[in-house]
């Protein structure tokens, strides 16, 4: 999987940063994309990338503030105008359905594909056999969620030495054995692939936060994540101001990454008060607490 940041600014776009949106490329799993938030101008950001809007089959919205949803109606209509007939599922807080239906109705727009809008509550949203997505409630000025995306564990490696010792030859059945299936050899022996597999390989975990001040739920959302994406709207000196508005500071987000045991922290949702020359200062505040921190820029791609 690969996560690309399409927008990394908080509230309003800047000359260097668009407002919030990320795209998860499910490369290695299937040929589709998931979009996370869709601020104004998201489809323009996609046009300047390798991604194709029709291949987006799920969109996850963290909350209904404009810098996270104002790009949705245009993107949905562009997907339709491309001629796509592939279904799309949209997840987000209560009110999302009314917002989309109203925008389409008033603008006399229509879609060429089935659109399923799922208004969520906290808990597991689905398990498709490869990925599990769970929503966690956050603490913002409006109803807001974070999404934990977990890959199912993969089968361990085949034990080649044990196979050789048991006189099991190589052949077209090796793929079935790697999948843990039972096969019958030409000599009549029945072989259970699971008996020749090493320990399962843990799947990857991605924790995507919406806007939030520190909350107890955050540690559960980010626990042992391979990649944690969290806002750092303001520097540490503005902690009271950030929390009053339902946001977190650099240090608060870094402390969460440390406490949750995350492997990597990508900071985003940077206030427009900061120019690019201020970014090293914000990064230094984070890295003093959690060294494995990066600050996202638009079009940064992170391999999971």
User: Could you tell me the residue ranges of all domains in the chain?
Assistant: 2-153+204-303, 160-196
Query: How many angstroms separate the most distant Cα atoms in the chain?
Result: 74
Phi-psi region of 167 (alpha: psi -120 to 50; beta: other; left: phi over 0): left
Look at the chain and count its residues: 304
Angle, to 10 degrees, between the axis of helix 96-106 and the axis of helix 72-81?
Answer: 60
Rounded to whole angstroms, the Cα distance separating 235 from 267 reads 12
Phi-psi region of 120 (alpha: psi -120 to 50; beta: other; left: phi over 0): beta
Q: In the structure encoding, which two tokens stand for residue 193, read together?
A: 């692939």
Is 116 known to be catalytic? no
| Residue that has been written with the tokens 């000359």 in this structure | 15
Cβ atoms 236, 198 nearer than 8 A: no
Cβ atoms 93, 145 nearer than 8 A: yes
Nearby residues of 30 by Cβ (< 8 Å), 6 or more positions away: 130
Backbone angles phi, psi at 175, to 5 degrees: -65, -40
How much of the chain is helix, strand and coil, in % rounded to 5? 30, 30, 45
Rounded to whole angstroms, the Cα distance separating 116 from 141 reads 26
Rounded to whole angstroms, the Cα distance separating 158 from 195 reads 9
CA-based angle 264:156:131, to the nearest 5?
Answer: 55
Instruction: Please give the CATH superfamily to which domain 2-153+204-303 belongs.
Output: Ribonuclease Z/Hydroxyacylglutathione hydrolase-like (3.60.15.10)
pLDDT by residue for the chain (304 residues), tens digit each?
A: 999 999 999 999 999 999 999 999 999 999 999 999 999 999 999 999 999 999 999 999 999 999 999 999 999 999 999 999 999 999 999 999 999 999 999 999 999 999 999 999 999 999 999 999 999 999 999 999 999 999 999 888 888 888 888 888 888 888 888 888 898 888 888 989 888 888 888 999 999 999 999 999 999 999 999 999 999 999 999 999 999 999 999 999 999 999 999 999 999 999 999 999 999 999 999 999 999 999 999 999 999 9
Cβ atoms 286, 293 nearer than 8 A: yes
- Terminal CA-to-CA distance of the chain, rounded, Å? 5
Q: Which of 57, 67, 226, 298 is catalytic?
A: 67
């Amino acid at each position: 999987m690969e996560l690309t940041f399409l927008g990394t600014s908080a509230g309003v776009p800047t000359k260097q940063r668009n407002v919030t949106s990320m795209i998860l490329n499910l490369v290695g799993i299937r040929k589709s994309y998931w979009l996370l938030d869709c601020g104004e101008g998201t489809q323009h950001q996609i046009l300047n990338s390798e991604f194709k809007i029709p291949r987006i089959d799920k969109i996850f919205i963290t909350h209904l503030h404009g810098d996270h949803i104002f790009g949705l109606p245009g993107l949905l209509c562009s997907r339709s105008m491309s001629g796509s007939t592939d279904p799309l599922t949209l997840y987000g807080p209560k009110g999302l359905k009314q917002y989309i239906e109203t925008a389409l109705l008033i603008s006399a727009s229509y879609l060429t594909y089935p659109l399923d809008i799922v208004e969520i509550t906290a808990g597991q949203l689905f398990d498709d056999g490869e990925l599990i997505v769970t929503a966690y409630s956050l603490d913002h000025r409006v109803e807001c969620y974070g999404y934990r995306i977990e890959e199912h564990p993969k089968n361990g490696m085949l034990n080649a030495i044990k196979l050789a010792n048991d006189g099991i030859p190589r052949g077209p059945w090796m793929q079935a054995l790697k999948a843990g299936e039972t096969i019958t050899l030409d000599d009549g022996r029945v072989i259970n692939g699971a008996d020749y597999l090493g320990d399962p390989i843990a799947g990857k975990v991605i924790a995507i936060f919406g806007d939030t001040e520190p909350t107890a739920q955050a540690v559960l959302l980010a626990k042992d994540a391979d990649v944690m994406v969290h806002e750092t709207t303001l520097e540490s000196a503005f902690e009271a101001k950030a929390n009053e508005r339902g946001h977190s500071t650099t240090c608060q987000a870094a402390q969460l990454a440390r406490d949750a045991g995350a492997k990597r922290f990508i900071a985003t949702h940077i206030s427009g008060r900061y120019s690019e020359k201020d970014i090293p200062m914000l990064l230094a505040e984070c890295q003093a607490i959690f060294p494995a921190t990066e600050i996202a820029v638009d079009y940064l791609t992170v391999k999971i």
